[in-house]
Structure 1
Amino acid sequence: MVSTKLFFIVCTTLLIVSLVGKAFSVENLSLTRAEKQKLDQFKEAISKITFPAEWMQQELTLVRYLRAREWDVRRAKSMLQETVAWWEENNMKDIQNEDWTDVEKDYPLHTDGVDKLGQPAIVYALAEWDLRGAAVQGRMNRVIRWFVKGYDDVHTKSFEYQKLGKTNGTQWNVIADMDKLSRQQQLCIQCLRFYTELGVLLESRYPGAISKMFAINSPSIFQVILGVVNPILSKSTLNALKVLGTNKEEWSKVVYAHFEKDQLPENLGGTRKYAPVWNEI
Protein backbone atom coordinates (compact mmCIF):
# COMPACT_ATOMS: atom_id res chain seq x y z
CA MET A 1 0.00 0.00 0.00
CA VAL A 2 1.40 3.38 -1.03
CA SER A 3 1.96 5.62 1.97
CA THR A 4 0.49 9.11 2.18
CA LYS A 5 4.00 10.58 2.31
CA LEU A 6 4.99 8.86 -0.93
CA PHE A 7 1.76 10.05 -2.55
CA PHE A 8 2.63 13.65 -1.76
CA ILE A 9 6.18 13.24 -3.08
CA VAL A 10 4.91 11.82 -6.37
CA CYS A 11 2.28 14.54 -6.78
CA THR A 12 4.75 17.30 -6.02
CA THR A 13 7.33 15.90 -8.43
CA LEU A 14 4.77 15.64 -11.21
CA LEU A 15 3.70 19.22 -10.62
CA ILE A 16 7.25 20.53 -10.78
CA VAL A 17 7.92 18.64 -14.00
CA SER A 18 4.74 20.04 -15.53
CA LEU A 19 5.81 23.56 -14.60
CA VAL A 20 9.46 23.68 -15.56
CA GLY A 21 10.47 20.42 -17.23
CA LYS A 22 12.65 17.62 -15.92
CA ALA A 23 15.16 19.78 -14.06
CA PHE A 24 14.44 21.36 -10.72
CA SER A 25 14.26 25.14 -10.48
CA VAL A 26 15.77 27.39 -7.86
CA GLU A 27 12.27 28.74 -7.37
CA ASN A 28 10.04 27.36 -4.66
CA LEU A 29 7.74 25.19 -6.77
CA SER A 30 6.75 22.56 -4.25
CA LEU A 31 3.02 22.54 -3.57
CA THR A 32 0.95 20.67 -1.07
CA ARG A 33 -2.14 18.83 -2.26
CA ALA A 34 -4.31 21.66 -0.87
CA GLU A 35 -2.26 24.25 -2.77
CA LYS A 36 -2.51 22.23 -5.98
CA GLN A 37 -6.28 22.24 -5.54
CA LYS A 38 -6.18 26.03 -5.11
CA LEU A 39 -4.16 26.30 -8.32
CA ASP A 40 -6.78 24.25 -10.19
CA GLN A 41 -9.53 26.48 -8.76
CA PHE A 42 -7.59 29.56 -9.82
CA LYS A 43 -7.25 28.28 -13.37
CA GLU A 44 -10.99 27.77 -13.55
CA ALA A 45 -11.68 31.19 -12.03
CA ILE A 46 -9.60 33.03 -14.65
CA SER A 47 -10.50 30.83 -17.62
CA LYS A 48 -12.64 33.53 -19.25
CA ILE A 49 -10.11 36.36 -18.87
CA THR A 50 -8.44 37.57 -22.07
CA PHE A 51 -4.78 38.01 -21.26
CA PRO A 52 -2.75 40.62 -23.19
CA ALA A 53 0.55 38.86 -22.45
CA GLU A 54 1.33 35.15 -22.55
CA TRP A 55 3.24 35.10 -19.25
CA MET A 56 0.14 36.17 -17.31
CA GLN A 57 -1.53 32.80 -17.81
CA GLN A 58 1.52 30.61 -17.19
CA GLU A 59 1.29 28.28 -14.18
CA LEU A 60 4.38 29.81 -12.58
CA THR A 61 2.67 33.20 -12.71
CA LEU A 62 -0.52 31.83 -11.20
CA VAL A 63 1.37 30.20 -8.33
CA ARG A 64 3.10 33.51 -7.57
CA TYR A 65 -0.17 35.43 -7.52
CA LEU A 66 -1.72 32.85 -5.23
CA ARG A 67 1.23 33.03 -2.86
CA ALA A 68 1.09 36.82 -2.89
CA ARG A 69 -2.53 36.61 -1.73
CA GLU A 70 -2.01 33.75 0.75
CA TRP A 71 -3.75 31.21 -1.51
CA ASP A 72 -7.02 33.15 -1.55
CA VAL A 73 -8.32 32.45 -5.06
CA ARG A 74 -10.71 35.40 -5.10
CA ARG A 75 -8.03 37.89 -4.06
CA ALA A 76 -5.47 36.39 -6.43
CA LYS A 77 -7.94 36.69 -9.31
CA SER A 78 -8.59 40.34 -8.41
CA MET A 79 -4.83 41.00 -8.30
CA LEU A 80 -4.34 39.42 -11.72
CA GLN A 81 -7.28 41.34 -13.18
CA GLU A 82 -5.75 44.55 -11.86
CA THR A 83 -2.49 43.63 -13.60
CA VAL A 84 -4.34 43.05 -16.88
CA ALA A 85 -6.03 46.46 -16.54
CA TRP A 86 -2.72 48.15 -15.65
CA TRP A 87 -1.01 46.50 -18.62
CA GLU A 88 -3.62 47.82 -21.04
CA GLU A 89 -3.99 51.28 -19.46
CA ASN A 90 -0.22 51.82 -19.62
CA ASN A 91 0.19 50.43 -23.13
CA MET A 92 2.75 47.92 -21.90
CA LYS A 93 2.62 45.94 -25.15
CA ASP A 94 4.51 48.76 -26.88
CA ILE A 95 6.88 49.79 -24.07
CA GLN A 96 9.90 48.07 -25.64
CA ASN A 97 9.39 49.92 -28.93
CA GLU A 98 9.06 53.45 -27.54
CA ASP A 99 11.63 56.11 -28.37
CA TRP A 100 13.80 56.29 -25.23
CA THR A 101 16.43 58.73 -26.48
CA ASP A 102 15.23 61.33 -23.97
CA VAL A 103 16.29 59.24 -20.95
CA GLU A 104 18.54 56.35 -21.95
CA LYS A 105 21.81 58.30 -21.77
CA ASP A 106 20.99 60.18 -18.56
CA TYR A 107 19.65 57.10 -16.75
CA PRO A 108 21.65 54.10 -18.03
CA LEU A 109 20.63 50.58 -17.15
CA HIS A 110 21.52 47.23 -18.68
CA THR A 111 19.42 44.10 -19.06
CA ASP A 112 21.55 41.90 -21.29
CA GLY A 113 23.49 39.97 -18.62
CA VAL A 114 22.57 36.73 -16.86
CA ASP A 115 23.64 34.99 -13.67
CA LYS A 116 25.27 31.57 -13.52
CA LEU A 117 21.83 29.95 -13.61
CA GLY A 118 20.96 31.78 -16.81
CA GLN A 119 18.54 34.18 -15.12
CA PRO A 120 18.49 37.72 -16.59
CA ALA A 121 19.42 40.78 -14.54
CA ILE A 122 18.84 44.53 -14.38
CA VAL A 123 22.15 46.26 -13.64
CA TYR A 124 22.53 49.99 -12.99
CA ALA A 125 24.58 52.52 -11.04
CA LEU A 126 22.28 54.77 -9.01
CA ALA A 127 24.87 57.56 -8.71
CA GLU A 128 24.50 58.10 -12.46
CA TRP A 129 20.80 58.78 -12.04
CA ASP A 130 19.96 62.39 -11.18
CA LEU A 131 16.51 61.76 -9.71
CA ARG A 132 16.25 65.27 -8.32
CA GLY A 133 16.85 66.62 -11.81
CA ALA A 134 14.09 64.35 -13.15
CA ALA A 135 11.70 65.67 -10.49
CA VAL A 136 12.58 69.33 -11.12
CA GLN A 137 12.30 68.92 -14.89
CA GLY A 138 8.97 67.07 -14.67
CA ARG A 139 10.50 63.86 -16.03
CA MET A 140 9.95 61.58 -13.04
CA ASN A 141 7.05 59.71 -14.65
CA ARG A 142 9.21 59.09 -17.69
CA VAL A 143 12.17 57.85 -15.63
CA ILE A 144 9.91 55.50 -13.65
CA ARG A 145 8.44 54.14 -16.88
CA TRP A 146 11.99 53.67 -18.20
CA PHE A 147 12.79 51.47 -15.21
CA VAL A 148 9.50 49.59 -15.67
CA LYS A 149 10.71 48.92 -19.21
CA GLY A 150 13.68 47.21 -17.56
CA TYR A 151 11.30 45.15 -15.41
CA ASP A 152 9.36 44.10 -18.49
CA ASP A 153 12.50 43.30 -20.45
CA VAL A 154 14.02 40.88 -17.93
CA HIS A 155 10.60 39.46 -17.02
CA THR A 156 9.88 38.63 -20.66
CA LYS A 157 13.38 37.23 -21.14
CA SER A 158 13.01 34.98 -18.10
CA PHE A 159 9.98 33.27 -19.67
CA GLU A 160 11.67 33.06 -23.07
CA TYR A 161 14.83 31.54 -21.58
CA GLN A 162 12.78 29.03 -19.60
CA LYS A 163 10.85 28.01 -22.72
CA LEU A 164 14.13 27.53 -24.61
CA GLY A 165 15.57 25.45 -21.77
CA LYS A 166 18.30 27.98 -21.01
CA THR A 167 17.23 28.26 -17.40
CA ASN A 168 14.82 26.67 -14.95
CA GLY A 169 12.08 28.85 -13.54
CA THR A 170 11.34 32.42 -14.54
CA GLN A 171 12.86 34.63 -11.87
CA TRP A 172 15.32 37.47 -12.46
CA ASN A 173 17.83 39.66 -10.63
CA VAL A 174 18.53 43.29 -9.78
CA ILE A 175 22.02 44.69 -9.15
CA ALA A 176 22.27 48.30 -8.00
CA ASP A 177 25.66 49.97 -7.52
CA MET A 178 25.25 52.53 -4.73
CA ASP A 179 28.79 53.90 -4.98
CA LYS A 180 28.92 57.70 -4.55
CA LEU A 181 25.23 57.83 -3.68
CA SER A 182 24.23 61.49 -3.41
CA ARG A 183 21.77 62.61 -0.79
CA GLN A 184 20.94 65.68 -2.87
CA GLN A 185 20.43 63.89 -6.19
CA GLN A 186 18.98 60.55 -5.13
CA LEU A 187 17.45 61.11 -1.68
CA CYS A 188 15.49 64.33 -2.02
CA ILE A 189 11.84 64.25 -0.92
CA GLN A 190 10.65 64.21 -4.54
CA CYS A 191 13.14 61.43 -5.32
CA LEU A 192 11.58 59.00 -2.84
CA ARG A 193 8.60 58.59 -5.15
CA PHE A 194 10.90 56.74 -7.56
CA TYR A 195 11.59 54.03 -4.98
CA THR A 196 8.04 53.73 -3.63
CA GLU A 197 6.33 53.50 -7.02
CA LEU A 198 8.77 50.94 -8.35
CA GLY A 199 8.45 48.93 -5.14
CA VAL A 200 4.67 48.89 -5.42
CA LEU A 201 4.79 47.95 -9.11
CA LEU A 202 7.24 45.15 -8.42
CA GLU A 203 5.06 43.57 -5.74
CA SER A 204 1.70 44.16 -7.39
CA ARG A 205 2.55 43.33 -11.02
CA TYR A 206 5.54 40.97 -10.74
CA PRO A 207 5.05 39.19 -7.39
CA GLY A 208 7.68 36.60 -6.51
CA ALA A 209 9.74 37.43 -9.61
CA ILE A 210 12.96 38.39 -7.81
CA SER A 211 15.65 35.74 -7.43
CA LYS A 212 18.43 37.98 -6.10
CA MET A 213 18.62 41.70 -5.42
CA PHE A 214 22.05 43.17 -4.60
CA ALA A 215 22.66 46.70 -3.34
CA ILE A 216 26.44 47.06 -3.70
CA ASN A 217 28.76 49.74 -2.26
CA SER A 218 25.93 50.82 0.02
CA PRO A 219 26.79 53.82 2.24
CA SER A 220 25.05 54.54 5.52
CA ILE A 221 22.59 56.94 3.87
CA PHE A 222 21.18 54.01 1.90
CA GLN A 223 19.26 53.22 5.09
CA VAL A 224 16.95 56.10 4.14
CA ILE A 225 15.89 54.24 1.00
CA LEU A 226 15.51 50.99 2.91
CA GLY A 227 13.33 52.70 5.47
CA VAL A 228 11.01 53.86 2.69
CA VAL A 229 10.76 50.63 0.68
CA ASN A 230 10.93 47.94 3.38
CA PRO A 231 7.23 48.27 4.32
CA ILE A 232 6.34 47.90 0.63
CA LEU A 233 8.40 44.83 -0.20
CA SER A 234 7.13 41.31 0.35
CA LYS A 235 8.86 38.78 2.56
CA SER A 236 10.19 36.91 -0.47
CA THR A 237 11.71 40.08 -1.95
CA LEU A 238 13.25 41.08 1.37
CA ASN A 239 14.75 37.60 1.65
CA ALA A 240 16.25 38.05 -1.82
CA LEU A 241 17.72 41.47 -0.93
CA LYS A 242 21.38 41.57 0.04
CA VAL A 243 22.74 44.94 1.16
CA LEU A 244 26.51 44.91 0.69
CA GLY A 245 28.91 47.58 1.93
CA THR A 246 31.77 49.41 0.27
CA ASN A 247 34.45 46.78 0.90
CA LYS A 248 35.04 45.39 -2.60
CA GLU A 249 36.77 42.26 -1.35
CA GLU A 250 33.69 41.38 0.68
CA TRP A 251 30.94 42.23 -1.81
CA SER A 252 32.81 40.75 -4.76
CA LYS A 253 32.86 37.32 -3.09
CA VAL A 254 29.09 37.41 -2.82
CA VAL A 255 28.36 38.79 -6.29
CA TYR A 256 30.95 36.74 -8.19
CA ALA A 257 29.54 33.59 -6.63
CA HIS A 258 26.41 34.23 -8.71
CA PHE A 259 27.69 36.11 -11.78
CA GLU A 260 30.55 35.56 -14.18
CA LYS A 261 32.64 38.70 -14.70
CA ASP A 262 31.80 38.85 -18.39
CA GLN A 263 28.17 39.46 -17.36
CA LEU A 264 28.99 42.49 -15.19
CA PRO A 265 30.02 46.05 -16.15
CA GLU A 266 33.45 47.45 -15.39
CA ASN A 267 32.28 49.48 -12.38
CA LEU A 268 31.49 46.14 -10.68
CA GLY A 269 34.82 44.58 -11.57
CA GLY A 270 33.44 42.92 -14.68
CA THR A 271 34.65 42.88 -18.26
CA ARG A 272 31.40 43.84 -20.00
CA LYS A 273 31.81 47.12 -21.88
CA TYR A 274 28.95 49.39 -22.83
CA ALA A 275 28.62 52.13 -25.42
CA PRO A 276 27.04 55.47 -24.42
CA VAL A 277 23.61 54.21 -25.54
CA TRP A 278 22.10 51.71 -23.10
CA ASN A 279 22.40 48.00 -23.87
CA GLU A 280 24.77 48.58 -26.80
CA ILE A 281 27.92 46.55 -26.25
Structure 2
Amino acid sequence: MRGGKCVSNLVAGAAIILAIVGATVCLENLSLTQVEKQKLEQLKQAISSINFPIHRMKEELNLVRYLRARRWDVPGAKDMLLQTVKWWKDNNMDEIHTEDWSSVAKEYPINTDGVDRNGQPVFVFSIGDWDLRRAALQGKLDLAIRHFIKGFDEVHVKSIEYNKSGKSNGTQWNFISNLDKLSRQQHLCIPCLRFYTGIMLMFESHYPGSTEKIFVINAPSIFSVILTLVQPILSPETYKALQILGTNKEQWGPILFSHIAKDQLPESVGGSRT
Protein backbone atom coordinates (compact mmCIF):
# COMPACT_ATOMS: atom_id res chain seq x y z
CA MET A 1 0.00 0.00 0.00
CA ARG A 2 1.29 3.46 -0.88
CA GLY A 3 2.44 5.36 2.17
CA GLY A 4 2.37 2.24 4.39
CA LYS A 5 6.04 2.62 5.26
CA CYS A 6 5.43 6.26 6.13
CA VAL A 7 2.72 5.29 8.59
CA SER A 8 4.79 2.67 10.38
CA ASN A 9 7.78 4.98 10.71
CA LEU A 10 5.63 7.77 12.06
CA VAL A 11 4.03 5.47 14.65
CA ALA A 12 7.52 4.38 15.72
CA GLY A 13 8.40 7.94 16.69
CA ALA A 14 8.24 11.61 15.79
CA ALA A 15 10.93 11.98 13.14
CA ILE A 16 11.38 12.86 9.52
CA ILE A 17 9.56 10.03 7.79
CA LEU A 18 9.66 10.99 4.17
CA ALA A 19 12.73 11.67 2.08
CA ILE A 20 13.83 15.28 2.40
CA VAL A 21 14.63 17.13 -0.80
CA GLY A 22 16.22 19.97 1.15
CA ALA A 23 17.04 23.36 -0.26
CA THR A 24 17.20 22.36 -3.90
CA VAL A 25 15.09 24.47 -6.20
CA CYS A 26 12.43 22.30 -7.82
CA LEU A 27 10.11 24.48 -9.89
CA GLU A 28 7.35 23.01 -11.99
CA ASN A 29 8.53 21.34 -15.18
CA LEU A 30 6.81 23.17 -18.03
CA SER A 31 8.63 21.47 -20.92
CA LEU A 32 6.64 19.09 -23.12
CA THR A 33 7.65 16.35 -25.50
CA GLN A 34 6.31 16.38 -29.05
CA VAL A 35 3.76 13.71 -28.15
CA GLU A 36 2.63 15.70 -25.10
CA LYS A 37 2.24 18.83 -27.22
CA GLN A 38 -0.01 16.84 -29.55
CA LYS A 39 -2.07 15.65 -26.58
CA LEU A 40 -2.42 19.27 -25.43
CA GLU A 41 -3.70 20.33 -28.84
CA GLN A 42 -6.15 17.42 -28.84
CA LEU A 43 -7.47 18.48 -25.44
CA LYS A 44 -7.86 22.09 -26.62
CA GLN A 45 -10.01 20.85 -29.48
CA ALA A 46 -12.00 18.55 -27.21
CA ILE A 47 -12.93 21.36 -24.79
CA SER A 48 -13.43 24.13 -27.37
CA SER A 49 -17.21 24.12 -26.92
CA ILE A 50 -17.16 24.09 -23.09
CA ASN A 51 -18.34 27.25 -21.37
CA PHE A 52 -15.77 27.60 -18.59
CA PRO A 53 -16.85 29.75 -15.62
CA ILE A 54 -13.36 31.29 -15.33
CA HIS A 55 -10.66 31.85 -17.93
CA ARG A 56 -7.82 30.18 -16.04
CA MET A 57 -9.48 26.76 -16.40
CA LYS A 58 -8.72 26.71 -20.12
CA GLU A 59 -5.23 28.18 -19.95
CA GLU A 60 -2.45 25.89 -21.21
CA LEU A 61 -0.78 25.44 -17.82
CA ASN A 62 -4.03 24.21 -16.29
CA LEU A 63 -4.72 21.89 -19.21
CA VAL A 64 -1.24 20.38 -18.91
CA ARG A 65 -1.82 19.71 -15.20
CA TYR A 66 -5.09 17.92 -15.91
CA LEU A 67 -3.43 15.87 -18.64
CA ARG A 68 -0.62 14.90 -16.28
CA ALA A 69 -3.16 13.97 -13.60
CA ARG A 70 -4.77 11.58 -16.11
CA ARG A 71 -1.44 10.32 -17.50
CA TRP A 72 -1.97 12.18 -20.78
CA ASP A 73 -5.29 10.50 -21.49
CA VAL A 74 -7.23 13.20 -23.34
CA PRO A 75 -10.79 11.89 -22.67
CA GLY A 76 -9.88 11.40 -19.01
CA ALA A 77 -8.51 14.94 -18.71
CA LYS A 78 -11.60 16.36 -20.43
CA ASP A 79 -13.88 14.47 -18.04
CA MET A 80 -11.86 15.73 -15.07
CA LEU A 81 -12.20 19.30 -16.33
CA LEU A 82 -15.95 18.87 -16.79
CA GLN A 83 -16.20 17.63 -13.21
CA THR A 84 -14.34 20.74 -12.05
CA VAL A 85 -16.70 22.99 -14.00
CA LYS A 86 -19.67 21.25 -12.36
CA TRP A 87 -18.06 21.47 -8.91
CA TRP A 88 -17.32 25.17 -9.42
CA LYS A 89 -20.92 25.93 -10.31
CA ASP A 90 -22.50 23.63 -7.70
CA ASN A 91 -20.42 25.24 -4.94
CA ASN A 92 -20.93 28.84 -6.10
CA MET A 93 -17.19 29.35 -6.31
CA ASP A 94 -17.69 32.64 -8.15
CA GLU A 95 -18.98 34.06 -4.86
CA ILE A 96 -16.54 32.49 -2.41
CA HIS A 97 -14.15 35.44 -2.16
CA THR A 98 -16.90 38.03 -1.70
CA GLU A 99 -18.79 36.21 1.06
CA ASP A 100 -18.60 37.59 4.60
CA TRP A 101 -15.91 35.51 6.30
CA SER A 102 -15.19 37.92 9.18
CA SER A 103 -16.54 35.75 11.99
CA VAL A 104 -15.39 32.48 10.41
CA ALA A 105 -11.83 33.74 9.92
CA LYS A 106 -11.46 34.29 13.67
CA GLU A 107 -12.72 30.82 14.51
CA TYR A 108 -10.84 29.02 11.71
CA PRO A 109 -7.73 31.10 10.91
CA ILE A 110 -5.49 30.54 7.91
CA ASN A 111 -2.57 32.56 6.55
CA THR A 112 -1.90 33.22 2.87
CA ASP A 113 0.26 36.36 3.06
CA GLY A 114 3.78 34.98 2.62
CA VAL A 115 5.84 33.79 -0.33
CA ASP A 116 8.69 31.32 -0.71
CA ARG A 117 12.19 32.21 -1.91
CA ASN A 118 10.99 32.00 -5.52
CA GLY A 119 8.08 34.36 -4.89
CA GLN A 120 5.44 31.62 -4.87
CA PRO A 121 2.60 32.08 -2.33
CA VAL A 122 2.33 30.08 0.89
CA PHE A 123 -0.77 28.69 2.62
CA VAL A 124 -0.29 28.13 6.39
CA PHE A 125 -2.76 26.13 8.49
CA SER A 126 -2.32 25.41 12.22
CA ILE A 127 -4.61 22.61 13.37
CA GLY A 128 -4.44 23.71 17.02
CA ASP A 129 -6.41 26.85 16.11
CA TRP A 130 -9.30 24.82 14.71
CA ASP A 131 -11.78 22.99 16.97
CA LEU A 132 -13.17 20.54 14.44
CA ARG A 133 -15.21 18.61 17.01
CA ARG A 134 -17.07 21.75 18.01
CA ALA A 135 -17.58 22.62 14.33
CA ALA A 136 -19.08 19.18 13.73
CA LEU A 137 -21.34 19.39 16.80
CA GLN A 138 -22.54 22.86 15.82
CA GLY A 139 -23.18 21.86 12.22
CA LYS A 140 -20.39 24.13 10.96
CA LEU A 141 -18.04 21.54 9.51
CA ASP A 142 -19.12 22.23 5.92
CA LEU A 143 -18.55 25.94 6.56
CA ALA A 144 -15.05 25.19 7.90
CA ILE A 145 -14.30 23.11 4.81
CA ARG A 146 -15.57 25.90 2.55
CA HIS A 147 -13.36 28.42 4.36
CA PHE A 148 -10.40 26.10 3.77
CA ILE A 149 -11.32 25.84 0.08
CA LYS A 150 -11.41 29.64 -0.09
CA GLY A 151 -7.82 29.69 1.19
CA PHE A 152 -6.74 27.11 -1.39
CA ASP A 153 -8.29 29.09 -4.22
CA GLU A 154 -6.82 32.33 -2.89
CA VAL A 155 -3.22 31.09 -3.03
CA HIS A 156 -3.93 29.40 -6.35
CA VAL A 157 -5.04 32.70 -7.86
CA LYS A 158 -2.03 34.44 -6.31
CA SER A 159 0.36 31.91 -7.85
CA ILE A 160 -1.02 32.71 -11.30
CA GLU A 161 -1.03 36.47 -10.79
CA TYR A 162 2.46 36.57 -9.25
CA ASN A 163 3.91 34.58 -12.15
CA LYS A 164 2.22 36.68 -14.83
CA SER A 165 3.32 39.94 -13.17
CA GLY A 166 6.91 38.75 -12.76
CA LYS A 167 6.76 38.68 -8.95
CA SER A 168 7.36 34.94 -8.92
CA ASN A 169 9.86 32.70 -10.69
CA GLY A 170 7.52 29.73 -10.26
CA THR A 171 3.98 28.72 -11.19
CA GLN A 172 2.87 26.86 -8.05
CA TRP A 173 2.22 27.46 -4.35
CA ASN A 174 3.22 25.89 -1.03
CA PHE A 175 1.19 24.41 1.80
CA ILE A 176 2.29 24.23 5.45
CA SER A 177 0.24 22.17 7.89
CA ASN A 178 1.27 22.76 11.50
CA LEU A 179 0.09 19.83 13.62
CA ASP A 180 1.12 21.26 16.98
CA LYS A 181 -1.66 20.51 19.51
CA LEU A 182 -3.23 17.87 17.27
CA SER A 183 -5.78 16.23 19.56
CA ARG A 184 -7.69 12.97 19.30
CA GLN A 185 -10.72 14.58 20.92
CA GLN A 186 -10.83 17.84 18.94
CA HIS A 187 -9.40 16.75 15.60
CA LEU A 188 -9.78 12.98 15.21
CA CYS A 189 -13.39 12.42 16.28
CA ILE A 190 -15.41 10.34 13.80
CA PRO A 191 -17.36 13.35 12.40
CA CYS A 192 -14.08 15.31 12.16
CA LEU A 193 -12.51 12.88 9.71
CA ARG A 194 -14.70 14.14 6.87
CA PHE A 195 -12.75 17.40 7.02
CA TYR A 196 -9.52 15.71 5.90
CA THR A 197 -11.06 13.56 3.17
CA GLY A 198 -13.14 16.49 1.94
CA ILE A 199 -10.26 18.91 1.46
CA MET A 200 -7.96 16.30 -0.10
CA LEU A 201 -10.60 15.11 -2.56
CA MET A 202 -11.23 18.72 -3.51
CA PHE A 203 -7.52 19.42 -3.91
CA GLU A 204 -6.70 16.36 -6.03
CA SER A 205 -9.82 16.69 -8.19
CA HIS A 206 -9.81 20.42 -8.88
CA TYR A 207 -6.29 21.76 -8.24
CA PRO A 208 -4.03 18.99 -9.63
CA GLY A 209 -0.31 19.68 -9.71
CA SER A 210 -0.69 23.13 -8.18
CA THR A 211 1.62 22.74 -5.17
CA GLU A 212 5.41 22.69 -5.22
CA LYS A 213 5.90 21.60 -1.62
CA ILE A 214 3.65 20.42 1.20
CA PHE A 215 5.28 20.65 4.63
CA VAL A 216 3.66 18.84 7.54
CA ILE A 217 5.46 20.02 10.68
CA ASN A 218 5.16 19.02 14.35
CA ALA A 219 3.67 15.71 13.22
CA PRO A 220 2.98 13.48 16.27
CA SER A 221 2.46 9.72 16.07
CA ILE A 222 -1.34 10.08 15.94
CA PHE A 223 -0.98 11.81 12.57
CA SER A 224 -0.86 8.26 11.19
CA VAL A 225 -4.67 8.20 11.57
CA ILE A 226 -5.04 11.07 9.11
CA LEU A 227 -2.33 9.80 6.77
CA THR A 228 -3.93 6.36 6.57
CA LEU A 229 -7.29 7.98 5.87
CA VAL A 230 -6.15 10.22 3.01
CA GLN A 231 -3.40 8.12 1.41
CA PRO A 232 -5.74 6.43 -1.13
CA ILE A 233 -6.72 9.91 -2.33
CA LEU A 234 -3.23 11.36 -2.80
CA SER A 235 -1.68 11.36 -6.26
CA PRO A 236 1.97 10.38 -6.89
CA GLU A 237 2.69 14.08 -7.52
CA THR A 238 1.33 15.01 -4.12
CA TYR A 239 3.47 12.33 -2.47
CA LYS A 240 6.49 13.75 -4.22
CA ALA A 241 5.69 17.22 -2.86
CA LEU A 242 4.97 15.94 0.66
CA GLN A 243 7.53 16.33 3.44
CA ILE A 244 6.33 15.05 6.81
CA LEU A 245 8.46 16.33 9.70
CA GLY A 246 8.44 15.49 13.37
CA THR A 247 8.02 17.64 16.46
CA ASN A 248 11.63 18.77 16.80
CA LYS A 249 11.93 22.34 15.52
CA GLU A 250 15.72 22.00 15.35
CA GLN A 251 15.12 19.39 12.65
CA TRP A 252 12.20 20.83 10.71
CA GLY A 253 13.20 24.50 11.08
CA PRO A 254 16.25 24.46 8.77
CA ILE A 255 14.33 22.49 6.14
CA LEU A 256 11.34 24.81 6.16
CA PHE A 257 13.33 28.06 6.40
CA SER A 258 15.65 27.06 3.56
CA HIS A 259 12.60 27.15 1.30
CA ILE A 260 10.66 30.01 2.93
CA ALA A 261 12.26 32.92 4.80
CA LYS A 262 11.15 33.52 8.39
CA ASP A 263 9.85 37.00 7.60
CA GLN A 264 7.33 35.36 5.24
CA LEU A 265 5.90 33.05 7.90
CA PRO A 266 3.65 33.64 10.93
CA GLU A 267 4.94 33.08 14.47
CA SER A 268 2.89 29.87 14.75
CA VAL A 269 5.41 28.13 12.45
CA GLY A 270 8.56 29.84 13.71
CA GLY A 271 8.36 32.93 11.52
CA SER A 272 8.47 36.63 12.30
CA ARG A 273 5.64 37.91 10.09
CA THR A 274 2.84 39.60 12.03
Pair in the same fold by TM > 0.5: yes
Q: Which region of structure 1 is more displaced relative to structure 2, 211-220 or 43-52?
A: 43-52
Query: 1: distance between equivalents of 2:173 and 2:142?
Result: 24
Amino acid at match of 2:270: G
Q: How does 1:87-126 map to 2 (within 5 A)?
A: 87-126=88-127
Using the size of structure 2 for normalisation, the TM-score is: 0.89
Q: Which runs of 4+ in 1 moved over 6 A?
A: none
What is the deviation of 1:107?
A: 0.8
Query: 2: distance between equivalents of 1:152 and 1:179?
Result: 24
Amino acid at match of 2:224: Q
Query: 1: distance between equivalents of 2:89 and 2:268?
Result: 37
What is the deviation of 1:169?
A: 3.9
Query: 2: distance between equivalents of 1:154 and 1:239?
Result: 20
Query: 1: distance between equivalents of 2:76 and 2:153?
Result: 23
Highest RCO, 1 vs 2 (Cα 8 Å, sep ≥ 6)? 2
Q: How does 1:156-195 map to 2 (within 5 A)?
A: 156-195=157-196
Q: How does 1:139-218 map to 2 (within 5 A)?
A: 139-218=140-219
What is the deviation of 1:210?
A: 1.2
* Contact 1:155 1:170 survives alignment (8 Å): no
Query: 2: distance between equivalents of 1:242 and 1:126?
Result: 17
* Contact 1:25 1:169 survives alignment (8 Å): no
The equivalent residue for 1:85 is 86
What is the deviation of 1:100?
A: 1.1
Query: 1: distance between equivalents of 2:267 and 2:26?
Result: 30
Amino acid at match of 1:233: L
Q: Please, which runs of 5 or more residues in structure 1 have no aligned partner?
A: 1-23, 274-281
* Contact 2:40 2:64 survives alignment (8 Å): yes
The equivalent residue for 1:229 is 230
Query: 2: distance between equivalents of 1:170 and 1:134?
Result: 34
The equivalent residue for 1:242 is 243
Query: 2: distance between equivalents of 1:100 and 1:245?
Result: 32
Superposed CA RMSD in Å reads 1.3
Q: Please, which runs of 5 or more residues in structure 2 have no aligned partner?
A: 1-24
* Contact 1:25 1:168 survives alignment (8 Å): no
Query: 2: distance between equivalents of 1:269 and 1:61?
Result: 33
* Contact 2:118 2:170 survives alignment (8 Å): no
Q: Secondary structure at the match of 2:102?
A: coil
What is the deviation of 1:267?
A: 2.0
What is the deviation of 1:101?
A: 2.6
* Contact 1:66 1:76 survives alignment (8 Å): yes
Write out per-residue CA displacement over residues 199-249 of structure 1, whole angstroms, 9 at most, x where no aligned residue. Answer: 000000001111111111111101111111111010001111111111111
Query: 2: distance between equivalents of 1:66 and 1:269?
Result: 37
Using the size of structure 1 for normalisation, the TM-score is: 0.87
The equivalent residue for 2:131 is 130
* Contact 1:172 1:210 survives alignment (8 Å): yes
* Contact 1:39 1:63 survives alignment (8 Å): yes
Query: 2: distance between equivalents of 1:140 and 1:208?
Result: 26
* Contact 2:26 2:212 survives alignment (8 Å): no
Q: Secondary structure at the match of 1:161?
A: helix
Write out per-residue CA displacement over residues 58-108 of structure 1, whole angstroms, 9 at most, x where no aligned residue. Answer: 111000000111111111111101111111111111101101133211111
Q: Which region of structure 1 is more displaced relative to structure 2, 138-147 or 81-90?
A: 81-90
Query: 1: distance between equivalents of 2:170 and 2:247?
Result: 32
Q: How many residues align?
A: 250
